[in-house]
Structure 1
Amino acid sequence: MSTDPRIHPRAFIGEGVTLGRDVTIGPNAVLLGPLTVGDRVWIGPGAVLGTPPEISSLEQNAAWEGHLAHHGVVIGDDVVIRELTTISQGSHRPTRVGSGSWLLNTSYVAHDVEIGRSVTLSSGARVGGHATIGDHVTLGLNATVHQRRAVGAGAMVGMGAGVTRDVIPFSKVYGSPPRRHGLNSYALRKLGVSDAEIDDLTARFDSSVVDFHSYAEHPLLGAHVSDWLTAASQQDATLKAS
């Protein structure tokens, strides 16, 4: 039992769990190693971090002691993980949640997912295995990202959307079936992109094909765009809003 007042006595912390400074853990939370938690992380009641990957071909560990035979979970600094959230161990690489991200209640992060910095998963949002979520992305209430999809930095996915295709950086995607509906100018302004450049990008988004290769060297957007071009399959990524 922990004597740290920030860690509730009914929280379960298994072997192989490394906690940073000023971590808060609520009652009935379960943390299983290998798991690394950064500084100033808040973990709510009933959250489960480090469950075995939900893959039928992999063994589901029979013991709650020692390291689970998987690739672990890495949580960055200043992350908020609200009540009843689940984060699974990686099967081929660590499951990662970037610094400054918020995972709201009952959200789900599957095995091998990589979530960038300052990402928001709204209540009930689901991210399937091996998916990549870029920096500054927001997934709306009950939105779902299919496994192995890449959501580009700064994108906004509307509530209830079921994303089965890669999402272009800084786009807005919503509806059923989901479609691209223009540019997330709010995210661009937060990154310091000028109004003139936003107007140029808006014109590109209004076309049937968005050529992001030309932005790979942009001083503000380049790293985000390059990451997405690497991660995304790009199949059907130029889907136009209807």
Structure 2
Amino acid sequence: MGNRVHPTAIVGEGVELGTDNVIGPYAVITGPCRIGDRNWIGAHAVIGAAPEIHGHDHGLPWGGGTDDVGVEIGDDSVVREFVTVHRGTRRRTGIGDRCFVMNKAHFGHDAVIEDDVTLAVGVILGGHVEVGAGANLGLAAVLHQRRVVGPGAMVGMSAVVTRDIPPYAKAFGAPARVRGVNEVGMRRRGIDAAVIAAVAEQYASGGDAGAWTPPAALRAPWEWWLERTSAG
């Protein structure tokens, strides 16, 4: 089956579409933008809008005339209605594979979420934010620019994230702080109970991933986080 694009949607110059995508009424997608296969994009979503940088050349709202890096969306992701995704300036603003982005979420320029991430209604990602694979951000959470949320972390609703959140942490509050581990998420990924307990003990002691060698089963998520976080 080919792409199904509602006649009221705008797909501008420089947009590359894979196959089997659904693009809803009044969605606006402008290039440069690369979208993979089997994605579902809701009504009134705006993908590829100009970054909100004072003095930046905004170009035309329906596309064309900029030198921005753009946007990239992987495969099998859902982007619900009224989501806004701004073009990247140094790298492509990105949505990975199998992500679920609920309505009215916002991606600032150069923000990237990895595979299998869930963003609840009204989540706001500031510019250059990075969210690791499998993370879950609750209703109306707000992430300050350049913050990093580790793989598998769970951020509570209305959290205000001003510090980086390590892998598989459970964080909430304003400002958000680590309050434990995402035990449910770890169990769902088949992580052993002893490993979960070790991570819980580390977080309870006030330690951080930068001062700790995690169990081998979690080495990859910690390496991903340490490469990006200012806390390490």
TM-score by length of 2: 0.94
User: Which residue of the partner structure matches residue 227 of structure 1?
Assistant: 224
Equivalent of residue 90 in structure 2, options 92, 95, 106:
92
Q: Distance in 2 between matches of 1:81 and 1:121?
A: 10
Q: Which runs of 5+ in 2 are unaligned?
A: none
1:147-226 correspondence runs (5 A): 147-211=145-209, 213-215=212-214, 218=216, 220-226=217-223
Whole-Å separation in 1 of the counterparts to 2:58 and 2:85? 15
Equivalent runs, 1:21-60 vs 2, <5 Å: 21-60=19-58
Which of 49, 54, 77 aligns to 1:79? It is 77
Are the counterparts in 2 of residues 16 and 67 from structure 1 also a CA contact under 8 Å?
no
- 2:131 is the alignment partner of 1:133: yes
Q: Deviation of residue 10 (structure 1)?
A: 0.4
TM-score, structure 1 normalization: 0.90
Contact 1:166–1:232 under 8 Å retained in 2: yes
Write the letter of the residue equivalent to 1:231: R
1:15 is matched with which residue? 13
Q: Is the 8 A contact 1:33 1:67 kept in 2?
A: no
- Number of paired residues? 230
Whether the 8 Å CA contact 2:152–2:182 is kept in 1: the answer is yes
Q: CA contact under 8 A between 1:15 and 1:67: conserved in structure 2?
A: no
Contact 1:113 1:127 in 2 (8 A): yes
1:58 Cα deviation from its structure 2 partner: 1.4
Q: Which blocks of at least 5 consecutive residues in structure 1 are unaligned?
A: 236-242
Identity across the alignment (%): 42
Runs of 4+ aligned residues of structure 1 deviating over 4 Å after TM superposition are none
The 3 A distance-change label for structure 1 pair 214 and 200 is same
Matched-pair contact (CA < 8 Å) for 2:162–2:175 = no
